[in-house]
Structures are given as C-alpha cells and as structure tokens.
Amino acid sequence: MIIAKEFTFDAAHQLPGEDCYGKCRHLHGHTYKLIVEIEGVVRDKGWVMNFKDLKEIVNEFVIEKLDHANINDYVEISTAENILLWIRKQIEDKLYPKLTSLTLWETPTSYAKLIC
C-alpha cells in the first residue's frame, strides 16, 4: 500500500551565475508543492502510517526550515532535484514505513520526482 501527503511552502532561491540557469540566476521565489509517498503494509490500526505522524515529521524537519527561507542556506545549488535529495536526507530515517518517492513542484507545470 502506498500513502501520500501533500505540503506547500514558500521559499526563495538563486541558482549560480552561469548562463545555463537563465533568469534563475537571480534571487526569486516559488510556492513549492511537496508530495511525500510512503509504502508499507496496512498495520493493526488500519493504516500504513498515521497521516498525523507523517505531517509532524515533514513539518518539523523540512517545512519549518524551508518555509519563507532562502533555500540556498541549506542547498548550495538549489535545483528542484538537489532540494529533493536534501529533503530525503532529512526524513528518510524518521519514517518507519519505506519512503517510496518525493515529488517537488516548483511551478504549476514543472516538477522533479525522486524515487527512493
């Protein structure tokens, strides 16, 4: 069984001053959407994991750090892909079911997905 929880946060970031990064070389912000998927068996309480517990973990170790922050304080080259790698390091050992995937939407039409 796979369950998922969606989170949003607003944050600024800036990519390096190389031409390949285009306008993203300038400090700017996004409203990010993060989807955390975990996989496991349905346990005796009738769930894989309590959504409340999942929410508390992600809020404490990811959202509270990144929301209304400069992501470059945590991730040097703050592409969506690198942000996902950082997020995985923050939470994967705190989830008792298996972390299956992380999806980070940077804009309504652009996202990266990390299969864990």
Q: Which sequence positions are flagged as catalytic? A: 24, 68, 106
Contacts of 86 by beta carbon, 8 Å cutoff, 6+ apart: 74, 75
Nearest to 88 by CA among 65, 58, 108, 111: 58
